[in-house]
Structure formats: structure tokens, C-alpha cells
């Protein structure tokens, strides 16, 4: 029975590390998306020529994008924390 517990513990550790790595990769993707999304916003706001949609529309679109990025960052951090919890639980069961 002890050999089976060691196998389950190592599988749990591996699975926890994979889930953690997925969460970290998603966090990195959110940071890249943030940079790509908001790179043009200062140029649009500082421009002498008005935006075709209007400045309030540009700001509203930026706000909606920011909310989506915050939600994606929160979800990816939850995934990473669950991976760490799985890893810690498999280590404490040994």
C-alpha cells in the first residue's frame, strides 16, 4: 500500500506543477495582452486630431478592455494558486 501512496503523491506533485505552470503562462499572456492593448492609448489621447469615434468612446473601450484583463489576470492567478495547493497537498500526504 505504501508504494501506491508514493505513486499518487508523485503524480499529484507533477500535476500540481503542471497546473501552476499553466497559471503562470496565463499570467504572462495577460501581461503581454496588456502591453499590446494599451500601447496606442497614450498616442490617441495626446493626438491633436480628434479620434473618429470620440474621446469618450476610446476611454470606454479602454475601460472595458481593462476590466477583461483584470478578470483574466485574476482567473490565471487562481489557476496558479490551485496548482500550488495541489503540489503542497501531495507533499503533505507523504
Retrieve residue 57's grid coordinates.
Answer: 468612446
What pLDDT digit, counting tens, does each position of 63-91 carry? 888 899 999 999 999 999 999 998 888 87
Q: How does DSSP classify residue 53?
A: T
Q: Please tell me the distance from the alpha carbon of residue 58 to that of residue 38, in angstroms, as a whole number.
A: 11
| 3-state class (DSSP) for residue 43 | helix
pTM of the model: 0.72
Q: Please tell me the distance from the alpha carbon of residue 79 to that of residue 22, in angstroms, as a whole number.
A: 8
Q: How many residues does the chain have?
A: 94
What pLDDT, on a 0 to 100 scale, did the predictor assign at position 17? 92
Q: How does DSSP classify residue 50?
A: P
- Residue 15 scores a pLDDT above 80: yes
Amino acid at each position: 500500500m505504501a508504494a501506491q501512496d508514493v505513486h499518487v503523491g508523485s503524480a499529484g506533485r507533477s500535476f500540481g506543477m503542471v497546473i501552476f505552470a499553466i497559471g503562470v503562462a496565463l499570467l504572462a499572456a495577460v501581461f503581454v495582452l496588456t502591453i499590446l492593448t494599451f500601447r496606442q492609448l497614450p498616442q490617441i489621447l495626446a493626438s491633436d486630431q480628434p479620434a473618429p469615434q470620440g474621446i469618450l468612446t476610446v476611454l470606454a473601450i479602454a475601460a472595458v478592455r481593462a476590466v477583461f484583463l483584470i478578470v483574466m489576470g485574476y482567473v490565471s492567478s487562481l489557476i496558479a494558486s490551485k496548482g500550488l495547493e495541489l503540489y503542497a497537498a501531495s507533499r503533505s500526504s507523504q
